[in-house]
Amino acid sequence: MRKRCAKAPFQGASTALKIIRRIADFESPPDAKVGFVPTMGAFHEGHLELMRRAKGECGYCVVSLFVNPLQFGPNEDFSRYPRREETDLEMARSIGVNAVLSPSAEEMYAGIQTKVMIGGISELWEGELRPGHFDGVVTVVAKLFNIVRPHMAYFGEKDFQQCAVISKMAEDLNFRITLRFVETVREQDGLAMSSRNAYLDPANRTKAPQLYKSLLEAAGRIRTHPNDSAAIGEILESVRQTLTDTGFDVDYFALVDSRTLQPIERAGEYSRLIAAAKLGSTRLIDNVPL
Ligand code: AMP
């Protein structure tokens, strides 16, 4: 009888994925160019697009999967935030991600006495409505940058203020990392993909694309009166009203300078429309360039 050879487990076409739970165990190959994608998991096409970009541009892609307790307020959704690591790992594997860093909160924060604080650009909009949120974000991102030591790091424009906040933190703390901001990936009906969309009940899911539609409508109308601050004020007010009539509870809908996040009255080269609104208990954010 012929003896059967023992075979290595089938790995599919993609690269073997390393899963790292202890910070001390993290290392990248010494000659690798590392592209890093920080995430909180519950992956969708938006996350996968960041991973594709990192893999394509750098060759070695590291993803962190960590629901960061520091960036959630006491009445926010930390405990019910979607967690599905097995599916996430499969999805990361399908992109050819090389390593997923998935530490526990204990591993990240036990005994911590140092936090990063950011003022200025973090104090408006999301920062005003979610006190402490951006300090939690920059603390975890600074720690992850130091653990992973990437050449490039990838963030989604869906979280537009977060991109600006992380740029400022990286500049202020002299991280030598090139940051890449990736255009928002959307569902077919325009809704920006988000792990939190899973909270929408069917009735609110049908209303949700109105946020993006209103941003596009406002951008189109503002482009026809870029220097008319009174007209711009009226446009913003009328789209806010449309959102309220649709059932949104609007937190903000504003024209800002994308470099400073300060509200502006006239549109120019760096203008961006940003919005946040609740549908039931689900909070959606989105933005468009002008
Ligand atoms: P999160 O897991 O929600 O913290 O997101 C991880 C990264 O994915 C962040 O840089 C997000 O801005 C980015 N991201 C989330 N949703 C999208 C999207 N729809 N399109 C592009 N990037 C996204």
Reported as a single tens digit per residue, the pLDDT across 171-223 is 999 999 999 999 999 999 999 999 999 999 999 999 999 999 999 999 999 99
For the segment 81-94, the average pLDDT, to the nearest whole number, is: 97
Task: Please identify every residue annotated as catalytic.
Answer: 47
CA distance 1 to 123: 74
Please name the residue whose Cα sits nearest to atom 19 of ligand 1. Answer: 193
pLDDT at 6 over 90: no
Binning pLDDT at 50, 70 and 90, where does residue 9 land? Answer: very low
Pocket test for ligand 1, best of 36, 37, 39, 91 (most atoms within 8 A of CB): 39
Report the run of H or E that residue 255 belongs to, with start and end: strand 249-257
Query: Smallest Cα–Cα separation from 42: which of 78, 91, 76?
Result: 91
Contact 170, 36 (CB under 8 A): no
With a threshold of 0.85, does the pTM exceed it? yes
Ligand 1 shell residues, CB under 6 Å: 39-40, 46-47, 49-50, 155-156, 158-159, 182, 184-185, 192-195
CA of 223 to the centre of ligand 1 (A): 28
CA nearest ligand 1 atom 7, residue = 39
Of the pLDDT bands very low, low, confident and very high (cuts 50, 70, 90), residue 13 is very low
- pLDDT of 10 > 60? The answer is no
The identity of residue 262, as a single letter, is: Q
Q: Pick the residue whose CA is nearest to atom 22 on ligand 1.
A: 156
